[in-house]
Amino acid sequence: MRAAALKAGATVLTVATTVMSALYVTAHLKNPAAPLQPTVLRSAGSSTVAGPGGTLTLGPSVQPSDVQPVTSTYAS
Amino acid sequence: MPHSAPLEEHHFEALGARCGLFAVGLSKDRLVEGELWTVRLGARLTRFSRDSELSRFNASAGTWVEVSGDLEALLRESLHAFETSGGLVNVAVLPSMIGIGYTKPLSSGRLAATVTEMRPPPALPAVLEVKRRAARLEPGAGIDLGGIAKGWMADRLCDALGPNALANLGGDLSAGGPGPAGDGWPVGLAGVTVLLREQGAATSSVRRRRWGDGQHHLIDPRTGRPAKTGLEEVSVVAATGVEAEVVAKTALLIGPELAPVFCAARAMAWWLSH
């Protein structure tokens, strides 16, 4: 009789723990809007301009200017 | 803050291309010295002269030969470029260059359009060993330093010209210091002016140095033939001139799908033209 009571108690405790865990996890879902990658992998600060001849991308360390260039990079 | 010292510039032909040196607060004589350095070193590193140090090194394949500090540094830079480009920048393409008929400077006349049977060049580390002031090539291998020499020389020149200078050797350029107005050196990149400061830039293209039926000078080491990747021109800004040269050539060779990702990881600005 006592052994049966212990088995029943253990079963009730296990089921209760499982149910409570499921309820807790459901109530604390991971933010579905969280980014899937670190922001460092994004091209933050860069700008891309597409023209008829190709695409120019400037990173944050290269600033455009309106002044006349003193020289250019070119194919030789 | 604008600089009061004047901008001095000097233009000349060397390495088979137009070159320009620019500096703030430096005499014209110093820039002319830069031209002389470029011409002398270029004469030692060209493959088109049988008497050059590079040609003698190529002709001595199979034996250890003494090399100058400049050639040693360039060979080490070439091995580094091979590693960082995944083997796409491979200066061991000389046999392929000769195979497609690129046997003399284009300025000296038309090239033969005949193409012999081509094979991919060997991996550079498999045919080139470099020690202090000595190097060895495997028999049958040959080196063409190409754009790596220009980028490397532009970096050396920029350092030698002082704290506020720019060296442009045939489109491979290196810019040091704050520039003439203090906010960077204004440089043309794909029709846009950008300000460079302690940076380099280079362009790799298959639109120049063309001959015959679609032959051009940019060999794809995967095939041993002139590259056909869907990209025709790539310009890059990177930390140094030689790095810009390596990134630009690698991006052109890997083609339009992977080039934007590669450039985003390795370059500070880039122009991809189809």
Nearest to A55 among B150, B267, B272 (CB): B272
**C-alpha distance from B122 to closest chain A C-alpha (Å):** 26
**A37 lies within 8 A of chain B by CB:** no
> B189, B233, B252, B262: best mutation site toward chain A, by most A Cβ within 10 Å?
B189
**pLDDT value of position B145:** 96
Q: State the ipTM, two decimals.
A: 0.90
Residue spans of chain B under pLDDT 50: 1
- Among the partner-chain residues B173, B180, B181, the one whose CB lies closest to the CB of A73 is B173
Tell me if B270 and A56 make a contact (CB, 8 A cut-off). yes
Contacts of B183 in chain A (CB under 8 A): 63, 65
Question: Quick check: B207 contacting A, CB < 8 Å?
Answer: yes
Q: Which residue has the higher pLDDT, B42 or A50?
A: B42
Render pLDDT for B234-245 as a digit per residue (tens, 0 to 9).
999 999 999 999
pTM of the model: 0.85
Mean pLDDT of A48-60: 90
Question: Minimum mean pLDDT among A45-49, A70-74, B55-59, B176-180: which range?
Answer: A45-49
What pLDDT band is residue A32 in, cutting at 50, 70 and 90? low
Which residues of chain B are within 8 Å of residue A73 when distances are taken between CB atoms?
Answer: 168, 171-173, 187-189, 201-203, 235, 244
Beta bridge partners of B204: B234
Predicted pLDDT at A36: 64
B50: closest CA of chain A, how far (Å): 23
**Residue A37 above 70 pLDDT?**
no
Q: Any chain B CB within 8 A of the CB of A39? A: no
